[in-house]
Structure formats: structure tokens, C-alpha cells
Amino acid sequence: MHISADKVAEVIILARDARRGAPEMDQFINTLTEDEQAGLVAVFWIGRGSFDAAEYDEAYATAVNEASTPTTTYLGGSPHLADHLEAGMDALGVDVNAEEDDLYRSV
């Protein structure tokens, strides 16, 4: 993957916190590299069923080649962002819940 599980977990946590999450989530996503942002979109697409986990490389390449909207705008428009990211990580065999727990403990 082009993004670490802990960074995806951070976006999930921020996406679930409607009161403070949106501005902080946008700021966090904007600090990611272009590769990480494309990786985040690929995980999102896998989670919503647009691609299978085995098609991660294709999803990533599509995210890179078709990026025409800022990632924060694109992902921020999904009311199920956290759920899709979690499902995508699960499909990829990554236990994002453990990453979320680690982030909560460090706060």
C-alpha cells in the first residue's frame, strides 16, 4: 500500500468526529504526499466496492491518473467515508481497529 495503516486510521477517527473532524481531517489529508492521498482514495474505493482488494494497484493507478478534485473535497463529500475506509482496510487484510486503538491510547 502507498499509505500506512496508522494514517488511514487517523482519517477514520477524524471522519467520525463530526464536530471537530472536518477541518482537522482536511488539514491532515493535505499533509499527506500525493502517493499517500492516492493510496487513501484506493482504499476508499475498495471499501465501497468499486475495486476488489486484489485490484489495489489498479485502484491506486486510477486514483493517480484521474485526480481532478482535491482529495479533501472528494473524500469529504462521502457521508460513509469512515465505513468505506474501514471496509477497504479489512478487505486488504489490515486490522485498522488495532491502529485506531493505538491512536486513541496516545492521546
- Give the pLDDT of residue 105: 65
- Give the pLDDT of residue 20: 65
CB atoms within 10 A of CB 59: 22
- Give the pLDDT of residue 41: 98
DSSP 107: -
Please give the average per-residue pLDDT across 34-39, as a whole number.
97
pLDDT digits (tens, 9 = 90+) for 7-35: 999 999 999 886 666 889 999 999 999 99
| pLDDT greater than 80 at residue 2 | yes
Helix pair angle (5-16, 21-31), 10° resolution? 160
- Give the pLDDT of residue 38: 98
pTM of the model: 0.90
DSSP 4: -
How many angstroms separate the most distant Cα atoms in the chain? 37
Provide the residue type at 76 as one letter: G
Give the whole-angstrom CA distance, residue 21 versus residue 83: 15
pLDDT digits (tens, 9 = 90+) for 69-96: 999 999 988 989 999 999 999 999 998 8
| pLDDT greater than 60 at residue 107 | no
